[in-house]
Structure 1
Amino acid sequence: MTITLIILAVTCVVSFMALNNGKLMDDLLLWPPAIQRSREYYRLVTYGLVHADFGHLLFNMMTLFFFGRLMEQFFTARLGPLGFVLFYIGGLVVSILPTYLKNRGNARYRSLGASGAVSAVLFAFILLAPWARIYVFVIPMPAIIYGVLYTAYSIYMDRRGQDNVNHSAHLWGAAYGVAFTLIIEPRVLSHFMGALLRPGGL
């Protein structure tokens, strides 16, 4: 079993358990006062193991399944067998840190879901295959186009701040995915720039 499938399986099991166990959910999600006062730093990772509902879980895990396996191969080849685990956990932590710092004193704030780390996986994939066809709600489009639309939408919604979605985590996760990939393999940048000029030359 690949690391991607292990992450997916663990996330699904823990999410299902937490959806039926309110105390477990409360113990794992990101609640800033628990970190600030009780030093429960594990929440900076475990919040990504729980989800608000089945749809939230399904969307994240489907994205991880389709793009995680390729990125696992990429990071394993450069960082060893635990390379993808390092990348994924880093995505969870980095994507949520700005949210945590902004809400350190907000006892009413809670955040959960693997979206930040999944965004990191997706945007790392876009660097490798910008013109690959992906499906968004059964609508096919090039990965790079989706990346641009996703980023613009996340920025817009983050500024509005009128829903319960942590769009900031999506943006920071995407930025982390790009930065981490380029740090590990700088040649990816020239590959990406060259691929952009060859829409049909996959």
Structure 2
Amino acid sequence: MQQVAALESSVLVLNKFFMALHVVSAKRAFALLCKETAEVISIDDGKFSSYNFENWKDVSLYKAKSGLPEEDNVSWIRTVSFEIEVPKIIRLLFYDKLPQSSVKFNRRNIFARDENKCQYCGQRFPTSELSLDHIVPKTYHGKTTWTNIVCACTECNKKKGGRTPEQAGMRLKRKPVKPKHSPILSLKLRSDKYRSWKQFLDEAYWSVPLK
């Protein structure tokens, strides 16, 4: 289970010019490193270092054999032949396109915006136990937009049915809005684990105090 969790760890992806693009899983990050289309960016004592996959394996091996206590918020992948630390940041060596100026409207970003909380009962659920609800149903010409879609748990979704919240006697916990910045990045930055991402993001992302 730890290995699976480590492979699903979040890794910030930068473009060739060190500008933040998006977040991928560690599994995807390692695939890019193995293809030699990306490098690891490590920040130690305020200094930047870059490593290709083989060099990062050597660095990880040194850390593993140093006998020092493992750092907090660091994930490891352990195979039969070697151990390797999951990087927190990678840089694409040949991708020079600029970050998107608007946030993509998709399920992943809606779950992140609503913090995996049902917007009717306020409880947090695994993504698999949440659905996306049209506040104003499609039967009433409700649109599929940031301001009309929210997360809803199974029970609340059943209770609301094909009605508006008012008709169902329900109230939203907060008014849905279109996020100005990636909700996934904003959510991750609340954790100390991703402090190193700050240096590559606009201050608006991390103005909220870390939890």
Shorter-chain TM-score range:
under 0.3
Higher relative contact order (CA 8 A, sep 6+): 1
Whichever structure has more strand as a proportion of its residues is 2
TM-score, with normalisation over the residues of structure 2? 0.23
Larger Rg belongs to: 2
TM-score, with normalisation over the residues of structure 1? 0.24
